[in-house]
Amino acid sequence: MIPSYNGQIMMTYRCSAACRHCLVMAAPDQDDALVSVGAAVEYGLDFAALGRAVLIAGGEALLYFEHVLSVVRALAAVGVPVAFIESNGSWCVSDALTRERLAKLQDAGVRGMYFSVDRYHQEFVPAERVYRGISIAWELFGRDNVIPERLSWEYVREAERLAQGPELLQCDPGHGVHFVGRAAVDLAPRAALVPLDQLLTQDCRADWEVDKLHEIQVDPFGFVRPDWCPGVNLGNTRSGRIADLCHTRHVQQTPLLRDIAAQGPAALLPLAERYAITPGPSYASRCHLCFDLRRQLVQHMPEEFGPPQVYQVTGRCR
């Protein structure tokens, strides 16, 4: 039931978990900035104008349940339904509370729920809580409107078991770990490394065909980006509208983005040289290299590569 084209309102960087594969470094001690109700309405209208379904995510957006409820109601009032909310289910501490909150969200206009289940999330979220959330969401929204649509209790318990063993520190081959954010810090050092010269031949054309991208994300500071590339910005809502920024033609008209699409992280090398930043000899992937260079460039280029929150080591990185 996930729509083909989404616009994600990333409500917060704060989270009840600090997963090792998290692209945006979400954590309990992250910045507590929130997308306001007014900004969410503007973003929702712009995403809808682009033909994108609106979803709400974080961090863990439902840490701020009443605020999210207000956002959903305000969006519904302007004719923009929330297709689904992503959650880790950490708040599903009892049947009564879970049912009450999911019913309120549904009444307000939310059409579905997406619960995260894997070994990284289950390091922080008890299996029993997320399975409760999924099971009650199946009842209220119907299985067609819940991700995962089908899932056994044994699967969730197995994720919890893996979260306690050495498998936790390895990349989950079934999960497609993307080496940016905490995954670049926590998981990449244990992955097979590729020499720098090989990575510098890889481009990012497909990642910047913005018109065709499954998901575009706007964060609490107004940064707009492909959800795959937190910290590489199409722009900021302080100075532009999502409806204008989220196009392939905008990438082609913006020299830095055009170069990144055409050359991949090699496009960052002249910038790195300008600021005396030297890349390492090998990385887990081109995105790991890109993240490492941007982590050092962001202080010089905050609009292009911000916010600093996506690079700050938070939570329990080892």
Q: Which residues lie near ligand SF4 (CB under 6 A)?
A: 180, 204, 207, 228-229, 232, 260, 264-265, 286-287, 290
Tell me how far, at minimum, the Cβ of 162 lies from ligand SF4, in Å: 27
- Judged by beta carbon, residue 123 or residue 304, the one nearer ligand SF4 is 304
Tell me how far, at minimum, the Cβ of 265 lies from ligand SF4, in Å: 5
- Judged by beta carbon, residue 35 or residue 287, the one nearer ligand SF4 is 287
- Judged by beta carbon, residue 131 or residue 228, the one nearer ligand SF4 is 228
- Judged by beta carbon, residue 160 or residue 215, the one nearer ligand SF4 is 215
- Give the DSSP H or E segment for 282: strand 282-283
- Judged by beta carbon, residue 24 or residue 159, the one nearer ligand SF4 is 24
Tell me how far, at minimum, the Cβ of 296 lies from ligand SF4, in Å: 14
Q: Output the CA torsion sign for 315, 165, 21, 51.
A: negative
Tell me how far, at minimum, the Cβ of 174 lies from ligand SF4, in Å: 21
In the three-class reduction of DSSP (H, G, I as helix; E, B as strand; rest coil), residue 41 is classed as: helix
Provide the CA 129 distance to its chain's centre, in angstroms: 22
Tell me how far, at minimum, the Cβ of 110 lies from ligand SF4, in Å: 30
Dist CA 240 CA 42 (whole Å): 12
In the three-class reduction of DSSP (H, G, I as helix; E, B as strand; rest coil), residue 169 is classed as: helix
Dist CA 144 CA 293 (whole Å): 41
32: Cβ–Cβ under 8 A, 6 or more apart, which residues? 12, 14
The answer to whether the beta carbons of residues 33 and 193 sit under 8 Å apart is no
- Judged by beta carbon, residue 76 or residue 256, the one nearer ligand SF4 is 256
Question: Residue 265's closest CA among 294, 227, 230?
Answer: 294
Dist CA 177 CA 131 (whole Å): 23
- Judged by beta carbon, residue 156 or residue 171, the one nearer ligand SF4 is 171
The answer to whether the beta carbons of residues 288 and 179 sit under 8 Å apart is yes
Tell me how far, at minimum, the Cβ of 176 lies from ligand SF4, in Å: 13
Provide the CA 158 distance to its chain's centre, in angstroms: 24
Return left, alpha or beta for 267; rule: phi > 0 is left, psi -120 to 50 is alpha, else beta.
Answer: alpha
Dist CA 306 CA 286 (whole Å): 19
- Judged by beta carbon, residue 177 or residue 260, the one nearer ligand SF4 is 260
Task: List, in sequence order, every residue forming a beta bridge with 217; answer none if it has no partner.
Answer: 8, 225
Tell me how far, at minimum, the Cβ of 13 lies from ligand SF4, in Å: 18
- Judged by beta carbon, residue 152 or residue 253, the one nearer ligand SF4 is 253
User: Which amino acid is it at 317?
Assistant: C
**Residue spans of beta strands (DSSP E) within 202-251:** 215-218, 223-226, 235-236
Tell me how far, at minimum, the Cβ of 287 lies from ligand SF4, in Å: 3
Tell me how far, at minimum, the Cβ of 118 lies from ligand SF4, in Å: 21
